[in-house]
A and B are shown apart, each in its own frame.
Chain A
Amino acid sequence: MSLITALQAGQQRASAASTWRRLLAVAPAVLILILVVFAAFFPGLFAEEANLRPNPGAVALPPSAEHWLGTDLSGRDIYTRIVFGTGLTLSVGIRVVLVAGLIGLVVGLLAGLGPRWLDAAITRVTEVLLAFPELLIALAVVAILGRGPESVVIGVTTALLPAYLRQGRVYSVLARSTGFVEAAKVLGVPRRRIAVRHIMPSVARPLLVLMILGFGSAVTTAAGLTFLGLGMESGVDEWGVMMQEGRNRLGDAWWITSMAGFALLITVVAVSWLGRWVARTVQRGER
């Protein structure tokens, strides 16, 4: 083997090793998320639906062999509720970031590619939305639309939207002024093609990162709304609702609130871990 080949082989092994290390760094988060997603789609695999039935004889029991995470104020098994509540809890967060990301993308492109006045108008609207505290925007929306997952999604999306609008616009403007796009314009490439092939990818990537990182914010804000009474309807199996139900018994039956709280925490941490890993990988790729 020549020296060069040996060096190359050594380099390949080194980069393979570092790739391996990087993947390992994010593996726990991915594992947790896989579990969570499975629980969302196939709760029956993890728990029995029958345990969701209220049981007056089993109110507020501590964790035990029979009830792994204890029971709540209506005697329902908390572990089962958390499992069956995964889908609803996550769907709210996912829908929020998807809609916000999409709007951010579209509006960003419009702002970057469209006429100046459109850009200015969009910036003003963003600033107006930024002036309000997020939670209060979401509260007002749910106050109008009534409680329930749909309203919560719309409310939280509206509240978190400014950040996406701003990101979309910023990166769109940045991309627009790169050499590629200038050249394409000069060469007469149609606007739409410029948008799709050159600008959209550079807007979409940071937005994607924002979406992953924003998931936690979305879910936590939704839980905050529920706590204040303007979120999900009471009684449904959803983590925010469960946290709100147990809030008067933290002193003695702390598991009612805290188990759902931990579920939320773990999921959000895993997602944000993943998000930061994606962000760093994307950054590294760009360098």
Chain B
Amino acid sequence: MQRSATRRSLRTTAAAIATTALLLGAAGCAPDQAAPGGELVWVIEGGNLANGHMDPHSSQLDVSAYTLRNVYDSLVFLNADGTFEPWLATEWAVSEDQRTYTFQLRQDVTFHDGTRFDAAAAVRNFEHIFAPETASAQAASSLGGERFAGAEATGEFELTLRLKDPFGPLLTNLSTAFVGFISPKVLDSASQDALRAGGPEVTVGTGPFKLTEYVPNQRLVFDRNEAYAWAPASLAQPNSVRLLDRLVVRIVPEESARYGALTSGQAQVATDVSQFTVDQLMAQADQPQSIAVNVSKSPGMPYSAILNWGRDVFADERVRDAFRLGINVEEAVFGVYRTGRQRAWSALSPSTPNAYDASLEGKYGYDPARAEALLDEAGWTERDADGYRVKNGKRLTAEWLSWLPFDDEKRALVNFFIADLKEIGFELRHEAVEGGEYQARYADGNGMILDFDITDWGFASLDADILRNHLHSKGRQNASQVADPALDALLGQAATLSAPEERATIYRQIQQWNAEHVAYVPIVPSTFEVLQIPSGVLGLQYDAYGWPLFHGVQYHGVG
């Protein structure tokens, strides 16, 4: 009796286990059906978006701009060929002295919460950008910073922007999502903290999509704005076309997961993938059913090593030059990116409109002999036991500080540089720390701390004026601590002019200046890749940054 009871209970247990296993197996094998008719999943890395970067007016992160582009419109749209198209503004005029811009606004635009878009609403937005609590990290300076005198509603649908001095890049920067328009009702009622945190109640714009759900670090869900009728001409679609109903942006930290999601059909569009993945895909490009890659070379400042002149090591220009000549950037970039990218030679990347100085290509390349000579000249003649140069008992060391996340490719680059510099007796040490710690060592808000010899970044920008942030003595991101009045004058002049050729000439001079004095060492231009599945997604377009625009996308779900 005991025996049979035991056997029965055992049989039941075994049956339960087997059934569970079968169920799990069956569930695991069933393919996930793609949503029919109009729901697209876009996977991004999305780091830092949740840390208060959901307000484009205050954020400086690219991810804020390209995700929130779906919700916020701009005054004008910048075409690939550099011309401007009406968007929320139907026409505009610039005064003779280039200090006054007058925009006629569309009269049929409403925000997602029903508020009307008019000149008053626009003015409210400009006020918000320059308000102290907003702590704008990019929008304000992209509108000229101190040059911006104010915005005024000179008519119900007429907006006037005034500048203290002419500012060439103004119109270009007005086309970005950083200067997108938030509903004035939200601006008046929500706190700045709430705006930065984001959410369906505060992320309210005029865009083709509304933010209907936001789970920080997980996903953003955008639903189509049915009332949207004011797309720029290039992006507009005839009414007959059935556009995307819903865009789901999924935040996925692991790169292999993003790529895996795309290949397995969980996502249809992906960004933030490694060069290696891109290379693989390009190699398969001619095969049918292969994933399509759109690679755009980011205009603006390439990924560079910023040298801090304020500390002992790099105060001497010869040492800076030796650093630049002592690293074999070409081989390093090839080792990491293969043929996918060429090294950067200049302070601006080649795709920056009307500015790139191609004459710098090939100059100041890898020259260890010259680097060693320079270091000897600078007095670093003795060596210590490990082979590094010493002067007055101090070793020749440079501390390189980066912030996390720091991807594998950059890490490999740094490793190569460390090895190269070791050969000429220069010690390079690298550390990548959390955003908060990085910020603490970068600046304390009262003055610059800049606790590093080298830091690194690239900065995508549609206009070469971005250099003013980095090289002007009063620049907001002047980590090199450059203070050259002649350079300041050049930068100011270039910002004031509007004729592209004149500006280009000056920017060439500025790039030469950097090549001579080495404020930063350009390493490799940044790129922005967008991957999409081979079929089913139509109408995906790209803006001047190379960021995807979902305005006119149709998605025919594949079962």
Contact = CB atoms under 8 A, between A and B. Distances in A.
Nearest to A148: B431
A45 to B, nearest CB: 22
B411 interface: yes
> A interface, by DSSP: helix, strand, loop or mixed?
loop
Interface stretch (B224-232, B327-335, B471-479): B327-335
A214 B434 CA distance: 30
Interface stretch (A52-60, A101-109, A155-163, A203-211): A52-60
Nearest to A245: B408
A245 B415 CA distance: 12
A230 B416 CA distance: 24
A235 B274 contact: no
A230 to B, nearest CB: 9
Interface string A187-202: 0000000000000000
A75 B335 contact: yes
Contact of A250 (B256, B276, B432): B256
A249 B336 contact: no
B256 A248 contact: yes
Given A74-B416, A250-B256, A251-B256, A56 B408 contact: no
Contacts of A235: 411, 414-415, 418, 430
B406 to A, nearest CB: 8
Interface string A38-60: 00000000000000011111010
Contacts of A268: none
Interface string B408-436: 10011011101100000000001111000
Interface residues of A, number: 22
Nearest to A253: B276
| Residue among B332, B335, B404 facing the most chain A CB atoms (10 A cut-off) | B335
A249 B411 CA distance: 14
A56 B404 CA distance: 23
Contacts of B415: 54, 74, 76, 235
A56 B334 contact: yes
Contact of A73 (B254, B334, B412): B412
B338 to A, nearest CB: 9
Contacts of B276: 249, 252
Contact of B336 (A53, A59, A245, A252): A59
A57 B336 CA distance: 9
Given A73-B411, A245-B408, A56 B274 contact: no
B255 interface: yes
A247 B274 CA distance: 12
Nearest to B256: A248
Interface in A60-89: 73-76
Interface in A107-132: none
A258 interface: no
A186 to B, nearest CB: 51
Contacts of B432: 234
A251 B408 CA distance: 15
A56 B254 contact: no
Contacts of B254: 247-248
A235 B411 CA distance: 8
Interface in B386-412: 404, 406, 408, 411-412
A257 to B, nearest CB: 11
Interface in A2-53: 53
B331 A57 contact: yes
A65 B97 CA distance: 72
21 contacts: A53-B419, A54-B418, A56-B332, A56-B335, A57-B331, A59-B335, A73-B411, A73-B412, A74-B415, A74-B416, A75-B416, A76-B415, A229-B404, A234-B430, A234-B432, A235-B411, A235-B418, A245-B408, A245-B411, A248-B256, A248-B274
Given A54-B416, A229-B404, A248-B255, 4 more contacts: A54-B419, A235-B430, A248-B254, A248-B274
Interface of B: 254-256, 274, 276, 328, 331-332, 334-336, 404, 406, 408, 411-412, 414-416, 418-419, 430-433
Interface of A: 53-57, 59, 73-76, 147, 229, 233-235, 245, 247-252
